[in-house]
Structure 1
Amino acid sequence: MAAVDYRLEAPELIRDFLQYHETIKNHSTRTVDAYYIDLRLFLRFVKWNRELVPQDTPFADIAIRDVNLDFIRAIKKADIYDFLSWLARDRHGKKQMGLSVSARARKLVAVRSFFDYLLLKRELISSNPAADIDAPRLRKTLPVYLNEPDAVKLLDAVRGPYAERDFCMLLLLLSCGMRVSELAGLNLKDVNGETVRVLGKGNKERILYLNPACQQAIQDYLSVRDETNVHPKDQDALFLSRNHRRISVDSIQILVKRTCSAAGLDPERYSPHKLRHTAATLMLQNGVDVRTLQEVLGHESLNTTQIYTHIDNEGLRTAARANPIGRYKKQESATNDGE
């Protein structure tokens, strides 16, 4: 996602809405930025569709700073339908004209949420024009995941000068089912023996138990973690890049693709999120109940008592040990002969 700062360019109503999500709803910066990008796209479209800007104005140059309450109140349901149609037919996607169903649905959520805020929280409008618009129907697909032999192949393929770090990150993704943003955001203080504290969506914390393989991988990585010349801002980051900064989400995604290629797996098919699916599937296949799995994956937040008293939840401990990847032993003969 391109770097944005809504505080510099958003009109007042949009800025207030985003600040509400950032401070009251406690949504992450990444989520708030995504809302802004979607709303900016919508408002640019409305201006363009109503011919309120010169025809030769590049779409990306359409300013929205002048959008005010009168402009917002004039938006009708037909404008939103036109927007969804334009997204489906004319907006550039990654591989084709028209955005995916999931991308269109996400943009509709942003628009509906904005109008809900104006209606229910600010009482500035009399109705939400997006309220009754059905979201584009998502095609139900089974999650893509690695089977156990392929997961082992992926781990065996780790090579290079940062092998301990890369192996540790991949093992955590495959064993704990972390989101890639959660993995990148880990700090040294989050690791406490057999547990790790994870900051999930909406800044909700949860405690995960580490199986013996993960504990050993973290110890192996920490023994070679280079603490020299670390950027002051990133001193507490668990995983560091070769530039001595906190590892980025993009870098982890590249690592997964590169290691998949080395393992003879399709790099276009697998991503860090697919490794999260892998962890979930392997746990389910090995006896973890769905309710416990929801807690492991962070679909429900831990309550404050659990976080601060470190209650020994045997269900979470069992989930950590049930994943067969936790019994993986690193091959001693592996050599660090790549990048």
Structure 2
Amino acid sequence: MRIIYYINIKGEAKLLPEDKTNAPKIPSKRQNAILTDLADYLISAKGYSLNTIRSYQNDLIQFFRFLRRRFGQVDRDCPFEAIDISPIDFSLLSAVQLADIYAFLGYASVQRGNGNTTRKRKTAAIRALYHYLTVVLQLDMSDPTQNLEVPKIKQRDPIYLTLDEAMSLLNAIDGRNKERDLAIVTLFLNCGMRLSELTNLRLKDIQDETLHIVGKGNKERDVILNDACVNALEAYYPIRKQQIERIEAQSDKVVKVDDHLFLSSRGRGISNRMVEGMVHKYILKAGLDANKITVHKLRHTAATLMYKYGQVDIRTLQKVLGHENVSTTEIYTHIEDDDVRAALYKNPLAEFSPK
């Protein structure tokens, strides 16, 4: 049975059997067979995550709507979001030239306020589309993205918590879910996990103090748990067991036990949004800047503290964080600047001036 990846009206990726008659369909104006087939390819052959597929789908829906308007296939008065993309076919896509793509990226920048990072992702989505059409399907068309330049992104130093701030955050955790929440934040701060990596953890992913993580693009890595992580998890396991027993006792039906490591109050895997809300609450309680510190900044914190205090070399840090390219990891070497500056000022000749 063929599996189709639908993107519903909320932008959620759903895996649905092709012959499932009650399957929720995306609105027809957002539906296009080429996008569905591309999603099949990117997930099954390239191992892209559902989050990436969702972003690419939305980017290409915008691109398709822009093309229909640019090529005069819709009335100029038709609202952009109402443009039907179902008529987009191979013939229209084969007529696209490099100038059309740059026009779309210009529209994304000026009309939609997209920055370089977002436009870089849109560029990647369009490239993936034409790679699929010209290389995978081997259609008789040219690839207009061959000379497409990627928007340059100015690398910014990552925002992170200092050691004292990280300790304050951990000490702020309390309440009825203290053990669970403490285990979550401890893993973030010690293992440098991404949000989706944590919420997708299963019980089986922890074996002999080793954490098995499935990261971006389904790339797998193993991280050794330190004492803080082991202690936090051991404190959480009995609470998790009691929670499941309580849910089973309150239900008249057979309860299917969720194997996610971290559970919500209903006994289901905790969601990304729940974790974000929980972390936000404790950031405020710790007196930290909630506008700057997010869940992902805890990953930055783990990387920075490992590099600064753990004397971890850049290649090891790359492996721990699951970065494909070491250049991504190199942003954490910024913390050396403060140390170098302090060392220079401590030089006994720092205040020397010729007479």
In the superposition, the TM-score normalised over structure 2's length comes to 0.78
Letter in 2 for 1:257: H
- In structure 1, the residue matched to 2:99 is 78
How many angstroms apart in 1 are the aligned matches of 2:319 and 2:154? Answer: 26
- In structure 1, the residue matched to 2:3 is none
> Contact (CA 8 Å) 1:145, 1:278: kept in 2 or not?
yes
> Contact (CA 8 Å) 2:258, 2:267: kept in 1 or not?
no
Letter in 1 for 2:293: Y
Q: For residues 6 and 215 of structure 1, do their structure 2 counterparts lie closer, same or farther at Cα, with a shift above 3 Å needed?
A: closer
Return the offset for 1:155: 0.6
| Alignment counterpart, residue 87 of structure 2, candidates 49, 66, 70 | 66
Gaps of 5+ in 2: 1-9, 17-24, 249-253, 326-355
Q: For residues 233 and 288 of structure 1, do their structure 2 counterparts lie closer, same or farther at Cα, with a shift above 3 Å needed?
A: farther
For residues 193-219 of structure 1, give each alpha carbon's deviation from its aligned partner in whole angstroms, at most 9, with x where no partner exists.
311111111112211111111101001
Q: For residues 54 and 165 of structure 1, do their structure 2 counterparts lie closer, same or farther at Cα, with a shift above 3 Å needed?
A: same
Return the offset for 1:125: 3.9
What is the count of residue pairs matched by the alignment?
295
Return the offset for 1:233: 6.5
Query: What SS does the corresponding residue of 1:39 show, helix, strand or coil?
Result: helix
Instruction: Answer yes or no: is 1:33 the counterpart of 2:54.
Output: yes
How many angstroms apart in 2 are the aligned matches of 1:86 and 1:300? Answer: 31
Return the offset for 1:55: 3.2
Higher alpha-carbon deviation: 175-184 or 152-161: 152-161
Q: For residues 293 and 43 of structure 1, do their structure 2 counterparts lie closer, same or farther at Cα, with a shift above 3 Å needed?
A: same
Query: What SS does the corresponding residue of 2:211 show, helix, strand or coil?
Result: strand
Letter in 2 for 1:174: L
For residues 149-179 of structure 1, give each alpha carbon's deviation from its aligned partner in whole angstroms, at most 9, with x where no partner exists.
0000111111221111111100100000011
Identity of aligned residues (%): 38
Letter in 2 for 1:132: N
Residue correspondence of structure 1 range 1-339 to structure 2 within 5 A: 2-4=11-13, 8=25, 10-91=31-112, 98-225=113-240, 226-227=243-244, 228-229=246-247, 235-285=258-308, 286-299=310-323
How many angstroms apart in 2 are the aligned matches of 1:170 and 1:42? Answer: 39
Higher relative contact order (CA 8 A, sep 6+): 1
How many angstroms apart in 2 are the aligned matches of 1:300 and 1:126? Answer: 31
Q: For residues 271 and 203 of structure 1, do their structure 2 counterparts lie closer, same or farther at Cα, with a shift above 3 Å needed?
A: same
For residues 300-334 of structure 1, give each alpha carbon's deviation from its aligned partner in whole angstroms, at most 9, with x where no partner exists.
59xxxxxxxxxxxxxxxxxxxxxxxxxxxxxxxxx
How many angstroms apart in 1 are the aligned matches of 2:115 and 2:274? Answer: 25
For residues 218-250 of structure 1, give each alpha carbon's deviation from its aligned partner in whole angstroms, at most 9, with x where no partner exists.
011111111143796761011011232211111
Higher alpha-carbon deviation: 276-285 or 241-250: 241-250
How many angstroms apart in 1 are the aligned matches of 2:293 and 2:257? Answer: 29
Higher alpha-carbon deviation: 45-54 or 207-216: 45-54
Higher alpha-carbon deviation: 7-16 or 188-197: 7-16
> Contact (CA 8 Å) 1:256, 1:270: kept in 2 or not?
no
Letter in 1 for 2:61: R
Bigger-Rg structure (1/2):
2
How many angstroms apart in 1 are the aligned matches of 2:54 and 2:15? Answer: 7
- Write out the 4+ residue segments of structure 1 that deviate beyond 6 Å after TM superposition: none
Gaps of 5+ in 1: 92-97, 302-339
| RMSD of aligned residue pairs (Cα, Å) | 2.1
Q: For residues 199 and 233 of structure 1, do their structure 2 counterparts lie closer, same or farther at Cα, with a shift above 3 Å needed?
A: farther
